[in-house]
Amino acid sequence: MKKITTRQWLVFTVVLLAIGIILLALSGYLNIIIGKAATPFVSVQTWISQRYMAVYDFFTVPRDVYTLRQQNTALQNQVSQLQTQILELQQELSNTEILYALLNYARTSPEKKYVAASVIGRDPSPFLSYLIIDHGSDDGIRAGMPVVTDQGLVGKIDAVTATAARIQLITDVGSVVNISLNQAKIDGQITGSVTGDLSLGKVSTNIDLTEGDLAITNGLGGTYPADIVVGQILSPTKSENDLFQSATVQPVVDFANLKAVLIITNFTPVNIAPLENTTE
């Protein structure tokens, strides 16, 4: 029988130990030992990996920041453009709504011819209530033509150039509008003031003025066509000793936010000034 040498015993022992360790490792008995043994290696690997990533970032990140900054600028520009577009669309929507309302109003009285115009300014004097519009004699507008909106009477054309015109509002201190009251069935005159308030004056004390009564143009004097709403009676003032009573009138048109108006172009105002001079 062949004698087993020491070397063979050594190999056999090592193989047996290896198989045993593998079996122990596979069965999970060596996890704790492996974990503890691996910790220093993991720490070293982590340290090396972090340093490597730092060096890598040092060379690569600046390029990414530049790209990101470019993208950010492009996106910011896009946001600005979109915001501008939103504002423009909102403005267009607002203008369209105003024009649609004016168109609807124009359809209700087809016998009148209208020219629509945008308000582009106001008289520089704070004492006056005049508007400047962007249509003039080139569009058939003449002095004296009445101006309205879908809400009611605005005023009349005071002066005209080829491409612009000036409107005297009914709230102007020099404005007088002949009206009829819807309920009271009387005629009267509404005048403007420097503060932009309207007032109805010289109404007989025998008449009962009621709040909310509608003031409508009656066509007298030939300045304005009949049946255009001017305003509502707000606060009648009547005292026993006075010969006449008066009232504040709330205009139906919001003059502070007036953006577009309609000019009635087929109404010819009557100039009664020569008749007034004759009677004097």
Partner 1 sequence: MAELLFYPILVLLLILQMVIVRQLPLFNGTVDLLLLWLASWGLQKQGKNVWFGAIFVILLMSFVSSLPWYVWTVTYLSVAIISRFMNRHFWQNPLIALIFVVFISSIIGMLAQMGVLIFHDSAINISQSIKYVIVPSVFLDLLLAIPVYVVVNDMAQWVYPIGKEE
Stretch that binds partner 1, among 38-46, 108-116, 127-135, 138-146 (CB under 8 A): 127-135
What's the min distance (Å) between Cβ of 166 and partner 1? Answer: 6
Does residue 193 interact with partner 1 by CB under 8 A? yes
Check binding of 125 to partner 1 (CB under 8 A).
yes
In this chain, which stretch among 48-56, 106-114, 126-134, 210-218 interacts with partner 1, using CB under 8 A? 126-134
Task: Please select the residue that binds partner 1; options are 2, 41, 127, 280, rule is CB under 8 A.
Answer: 127
- Shortest Cβ distance from residue 56 to partner 1 (Å)? 54
Cα separations in angstroms, 105 against 148, 160, 262: 10, 25, 9
Residue 59 touches partner 1, criterion: CB under 8 A: no
Q: Which of 250, 247, 252 is nearest to 207 (CA)?
A: 247
- Which position among 55, 120, 226, 275 is part of the footprint of partner 1 (CB under 8 A)? 120
Contact (CB, 8 A) for 234 and 248: yes
Out of 122, 186, 214, 219, which residue is the one contacting partner 1 (CB under 8 A)?
122
What span, in angstroms and rounded, lies between the C-alpha atoms of 111 and 146?
15
Select 114 or 230, whichever has its Cβ closest to partner 1. Answer: 230
Q: Residue count at the site for partner 1 (CB under 8 A)?
A: 23
**Tokens, residue 190:** 């509404």
Angstrom CA distances, 86 to 35, 75, 77, 91, 93, stand at 62, 16, 14, 9, 10
β-pairing, 114-122 vs 153-160, is unpaired
Q: Can residue 130 be called a binding residue for partner 1 (CB under 8 A)?
A: yes
Residue 19 neighbours by CB under 8 Å, 6+ apart: none
- Of 93-101, 105-113, 117-125, 225-233, the window that binds partner 1 (rule: CB under 8 A) is 117-125
Is 213 among the residues that bind partner 1 (CB under 8 A)?
no
String of DSSP letters for 22-89: HHHHHHTTTHHHHHHHHHHHHHHHHHHHHHHHHHHHHHHHHHHHHHHHHHHHHHHHHHHHHHHHHHHH
Q: How far is the CB of 192 from partner 1 (least distance, A)?
A: 8
Start-end of H helices in the chain: 6-27, 31-108, 273-279
| Site membership for partner 1, residue 123 (CB under 8 A) | yes
Specify whether the CB–CB gap between 134 and 250 falls below 8 A: no
- Minimal distance in Å, beta carbon 210 to partner 1? 25
Q: Does residue 159 touch partner 1 according to CB under 8 A? A: yes
Q: What residues between 249 and 268 interact with partner 1 by CB under 8 A?
A: 256
Residues near partner 1, by CB under 8 A:
120-128, 130, 132, 158-159, 166, 168, 173-174, 191, 193-196, 256
